[in-house]
C-alpha cells in the first residue's frame, strides 16, 4: 500500500479560501494611435499571461488592460476592495511609473512586477519602432523600482520572455509565497493547555502573532477536548480504528486499549477543530496520576498525525511558532513535520532529527508505523506513537525564530536525508546531511534565533520561504555551510 495515496484518498483535506491574485496589465496609451498593430499584439500576450495565472491554484482578479493614470486609479481601487494576497503588474511595454504607483498605494498589498517580452530576442533586420515597443517592457522596470523605493514600497520583479519556463517558475514561486501569506493572514491557530515547564524559548506573545501575520489565536482548555471526547460513540471509535489500520502499520507493541483510546481522542480532536474552525493546534498538558487530562495529553499523537495529514498541523509541547511554520510549509506543499535534534553522527556526518509525534504522513518514506510506548520520555502518560523514516532526498528545515525585540524571523537550512540506522522508539526520524560537520551545523543553526523545534519539509524550499517572508514583511535567515 502506498500510504501517501491512501492518505489522499481516505482523508478529506482541510481547505481555506484559495490564494487571491490581482492582475493588472498595461502600457502607455500614447503609443496606440501611433502604432495601430502594437496594442493587439500586447493584448495577445496578456491573454497568454492571464491563462497561465488562471491555471494556478488561485483566484485571479483581472482588472484588465490600463493605458493611463486614470485607468490605474480604477484598477487600484478594484484591487483594494478585492483584498488580494499579491498584485501582479504586467508591464507589456513602456509605461510611466505614475501608472503603477497608485495601484500599490491604494491596494496596500505586496506587488510583483513582471515584464515578459514576446520571444527570446528581436529580429533586428525586420523590426520597426512599433515592433520594438512590444519588447521594451523591461524599460520602465528601473523607473518603477526607484519610485517604489522612494515611496517606501517593497519592489519585486521577474524579467524574461513570455514562454520562458524559468521565468514562470520564479513567478509561480511568488504565487506560492502569496499562498503562505493568505494562509497565515486568515489562520485560526488553536493553543490548548499550557507551556511545557521550563521551555522558555517556546513561550510566545500571542499578540505579536496577530500583529505580524494577521492570524487569530484561539485559546483553548483541555476541558474543551475532554467534553468532545466524552461524546464520541463506540461506533465512531470502531470507524476511526479502521481508518488508522488503513493509514498505519501496527507494531506488536500496540496495546488494544491504548489504540482504542487514541482513536477516541482522534474523533474528539476532529470535532474540536471543526467547532473552533481551527487551521492549526499547538498543545501540552502535564496531568497527574493517570487522570483523564493526563490520558488526553498522552492520547493525542494518532489524531494529531491524521489532522496534520489533512492540512491542520498539530504541534506538541505548546509549540505555537512551530505549528505556524508547519502551516506555512503546508501552504507550499512541502509537508512540514514536527522536528527537533535527536543526536549527531560524526561517522556519517549527519544530524539525526525527528520527534515522538505528531507526524506529517506526507514526509514518510514508507507506510508509517504505530508503536506502543509504555512511557513518553519527559512527559506523563503512555500510549501509541508514530514512527517512520523520512523520505530520502532533499529537505528543508524551517522554523520561526524570535529576536530580542520580539520580532519573528523565518529560518531555513537545506540538506539531504540519507539512509542509515535509525532508532525504533516511536519517533519520526531522519538522518540529514547538511554537507558539513554536523556539530558546526548545530552551532550555526542555533545562532539564528530558532527555538527548540521546527518543521521538516520535503524538497529544497528555502527560496519559497524567503519569498513568503518578503510578502509578510519578516526577515529570512538561511544557514548554508561551505
Q: What is the CATH number of domain 186-479?
A: 3.20.14
- pLDDT tens profile 334-363: 988 999 999 999 999 999 998 877 888 888
Q: What is the CATH number of domain 19-184?
A: 3.40.50.10940
Confidence (pLDDT) at 4: 42
- How many angstroms separate the CA atoms of 209 and 474, rounded? 12
How many C-beta atoms surround the C-beta of residue 346 within 10 A? 9
**To 10 degrees, the CA torsion angle through 355, 227, 255, 10?**
-70
Tell whether the model's pLDDT for residue 265 goes beyond 60.
Answer: yes
Tell whether the model's pLDDT for residue 61 goes beyond 70.
Answer: yes
- pLDDT tens profile 13-34: 787 888 999 999 999 999 999 9
**Bridge partner list, 345:** 350
- Rg over alpha carbons for the chain, rounded to the nearest Å, is 25
Residue spans per domain, the chain: 19-184, 186-479
Tell whether the model's pLDDT for residue 3 goes beyond 60.
Answer: no
- pLDDT tens profile 103-144: 999 988 999 999 999 999 999 999 999 999 999 999 999 999
Confidence (pLDDT) at 362: 84
Q: Is the pTM of this model over 0.95?
A: no
Express as a percent the part of the chain with pLDDT over 70: 97
Confidence (pLDDT) at 1: 39
- pLDDT tens profile 287-299: 887 788 888 988 9
Tell whether the model's pLDDT for residue 377 goes beyond 70.
Answer: no
Q: What is the mean pLDDT of residues 416-427?
A: 87
∠ Cα 460 465 466 (to 5°): 110
**Bridge partner list, 58:** 19
Higher pLDDT among residues 10 and 452, named by residue: 452
Q: What is the mean pLDDT of residues 448-460?
A: 95
**Across the chain, what does the average pLDDT equal?**
93
Q: What is the mean pLDDT of residues 176-203?
A: 94
- How many angstroms separate the CA atoms of 330 and 183, rounded? 9
Residue pair 463/394 in contact by the 8 Å Cβ criterion: no
pLDDT band for position 378 (cuts 50, 70, 90): low
The pairing of strands 216-220 and 383-389 is unpaired
Placement of cell 519578516 in the chain: 474
pLDDT band for position 405 (cuts 50, 70, 90): very high
Confidence (pLDDT) at 8: 61
- pLDDT tens profile 307-320: 999 999 999 999 99
Mean pLDDT lowest among 186-195, 215-224, 353-362 = 353-362
- How many angstroms separate the CA atoms of 89 and 171, rounded? 12
Amino acid at each position: 500500500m502506498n500510504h501517501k495515496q491512501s492518505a489522499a484518498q481516505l482523508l478529506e483535506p482541510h481547505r481555506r479560501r484559495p490564494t487571491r491574485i490581482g492582475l493588472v496589465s498595461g502600457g502607455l496609451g500614447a503609443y496606440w494611435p501611433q502604432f495601430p498593430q502594437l496594442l493587439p499584439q500586447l493584448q495577445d500576450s496578456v491573454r497568454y499571461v492571464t491563462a497561465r495565472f488562471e491555471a494556478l491554484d488561485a483566484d485571479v482578479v483581472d482588472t484588465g488592460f490600463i493605458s493611463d493614470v486614470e485607468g490605474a486609479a480604477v484598477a487600484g481601487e478594484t484591487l483594494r476592495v478585492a483584498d488580494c494576497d499579491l498584485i501582479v503588474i504586467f508591464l507589456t511595454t513602456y509605461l510611466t511609473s505614475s501608472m503603477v504607483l497608485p495601484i500599490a498605494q491604494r491596494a496596500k498589498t505586496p506587488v510583483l512586477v513582471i515584464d515578459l517580452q514576446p520571444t527570446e530576442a528581436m529580429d533586428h533586420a525586420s523590426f520597426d519602432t512599433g515592433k520594438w515597443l512590444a519588447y521594451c517592457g523591461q524599460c520602465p522596470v528601473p523607473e518603477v523600482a526607484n519610485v517604489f523605493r522612494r515611496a517606501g514600497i517593497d519592489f519585486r520583479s521577474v524579467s524574461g520572455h513570455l514562454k520562458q519556463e524559468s521565468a514562470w517558475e520564479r513567478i509561480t514561486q511568488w504565487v506560492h509565497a502569496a499562498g503562505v501569506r493568505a494562509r497565515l493572514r486568515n489562520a485560526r491557530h488553536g493553543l490548548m493547555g499550557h507551556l511545557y515547564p521550563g521551555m522558555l524559548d517556546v513561550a510566545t506573545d500571542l499578540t505579536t502573532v496577530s500583529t505580524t501575520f494577521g492570524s487569530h489565536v484561539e485559546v483553548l482548555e483541555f476541558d474543551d477536548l475532554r467534553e468532545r471526547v466524552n461524546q464520541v460513540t463506540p461506533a465512531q471509535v470502531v470507524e476511526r480504528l479502521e481508518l488508522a489500520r488503513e493509514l498505519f502499520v501496527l507494531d506488536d507493541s500496540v496495546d488494544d486499549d491504548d489504540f482504542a483510546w487514541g482513536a477516541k481522542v482522534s474523533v474528539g480532536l476532529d470535532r474540536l477543530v471543526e467547532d473552533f474552525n481551527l487551521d492549526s493546534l499547538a498543545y501540552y498538558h502535564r496531568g497527574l496520576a493517570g487522570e483523564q487530562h493526563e490520558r488526553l495529553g498522552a492520547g493525542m499523537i494518532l489524531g494529531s498525525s491524521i489532522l496534520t495529514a489533512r492540512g491542520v498541523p498539530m504541534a506538541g509541547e505548546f509549540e505555537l511558532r512551530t505549528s505556524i511554520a508547519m502551516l506555512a510549509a503546508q501552504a507550499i506543499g512541502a509537508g512540514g513535520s514536527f522536528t527537533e535534534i535527536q543526536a549527531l553522527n560524526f561517522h556519517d556526518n549527519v544530524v539525526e532529527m525527528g520527534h515522538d509525534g505528531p507526524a506529517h504522513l506526507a514526509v514518510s518514506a514508507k507506510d508509517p508505523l504505530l508503536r506502543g510506548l509504555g512511557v513518553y520520555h519527559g512527559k506523563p502518560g503512555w500510549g501509541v506513537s508514530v514512527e517512520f523514516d523520512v523520505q530520502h532526498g532533499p529537505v528543508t528545515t524551517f522554523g520561526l525564530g524570535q529576536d530580542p525585540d520580539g520580532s519573528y524571523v523565518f529560518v531555513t537550512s537545506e540538506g539531504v536525508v540519507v539512509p542509515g540506522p535509525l532508532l525504533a522508539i516511536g519517533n519520526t526520524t531522519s538522518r540529514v546531511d547538511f554537507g558539513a560537520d554536523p556539530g558546526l551545523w548545530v552551532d550555526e543553526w542555533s545562532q539564528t534565533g530558532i527555538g527548540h523545534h521546527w518543521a521538516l519539509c520535503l524538497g529544497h524550499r528555502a527560496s519559497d520561504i524567503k519569498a513568503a517572508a518578503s510578502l509578510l514583511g519578516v526577515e529570512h535567515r538561511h544557514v548554508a555551510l561551505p
